[in-house]
Amino acid sequence: MKHKVISLYKSDIDYTIVELQKKVFDYFSIPLEQISFDGMHSTAIEKYVKNNNDWDSITIFDVDCIPITHDCVSRAIKEISDNNTIYGNGQASNSIFPTTPRTPPFIAPSFLSFSRDLWERSPFKNFDFQRYPNPEGISMEADVAEVFTRENEKAGRRIAMNYPTRCLTGIAWNYFGGYGYKEFGFGIATEFESGTYHNFQIRLPEKQKYFFDYCDKLMRGEKIESFVS
């Protein structure tokens, strides 16, 4: 079985970030294909998945997400080997709202894995932002891959969600629980139980310093402390 690990990055991003992500993957000896795109992230994901046939299963990373353990991808491969699982990092839209309307969490494309068999049987093959009803039937704005998660969940697919374990910049967004999912919080610089680190909002120069510092300390084998006092 051929497993592809890809990272999609917008062409106008600081290329230092792209190079640093690759160095971290090389540090862990994890092969990575990095792909530049213009336009929408969701469209780039769809284009790759639909037009490339040289994969039996796939792990998709954002350019601001990196492995922090040697086995994060091998664990993903094992989880999705049943051809019935979507595996990756949990995220929540509308997470600033402590009450309804809100939506269940989903597997975000910052770290997202599934098999070709699941993809081909998927009832929904669109990753775009769109309107989608929450469990109460209220139309909400859904993030990239959110409806993909929800529709496959409805079709009986297993949603293997990895939760945040540490927020080095403090919690910025909260999911307050419900719909069968537990409460969790995440922030700009967040580690996940999947063995990955995601630096949200990397497009903003003031957020990039966390990514640079984290990657540098990780590859030096240094202890990584919180970025806030």
- Evaluate whether the domain defined by 3-163 bears CATH number 3.90.550: yes
Between CA 45 and CA 127 the distance in angstroms is 7
Whether the per-residue pLDDT at 22 is higher than 90: the answer is: yes
Sequence-separated (6 or more) residues with CB below 8 Å from residue 1: 56, 57
| 151-155, 177-181, 188-192: segment of lowest average pLDDT | 177-181
| 14-18, 49-53, 128-132: segment of lowest average pLDDT | 128-132
User: Where do we find the tokens 């680190």?
Assistant: 197
User: Where do we find the tokens 């139309």?
Assistant: 139
Sequence-separated (6 or more) residues with CB below 8 Å from residue 102: 92, 94, 95, 134, 140, 176, 178
Task: Judge whether 66 and 197 are in contact, CB under 8 Å.
Answer: yes
- Averaged pLDDT, 187-214: 97
Beta-sheet pairing, 3-10 with 33-37: parallel
Query: 0.85 exceeded by the pTM?
Result: yes
List the structure tokens of 84: 């019935």
The dihedral sign for the CA sequence 3, 163, 194, 196? positive
Q: Can you give the pLDDT at residue 102?
A: 83
In sequence order, what are the beta bridge partners of 59?
A: 5, 113
pLDDT tens for residues 93-146? Answer: 876 665 556 889 999 999 999 999 999 999 888 787 788 888 888 888 888 899
Between CA 199 and CA 190 the distance in angstroms is 7
Task: Judge whether 60 and 109 are in contact, CB under 8 Å.
Answer: yes
Going by the DSSP 8-state scheme, the letter that residue 169 receives in this structure is T
Between CA 119 and CA 74 the distance in angstroms is 19
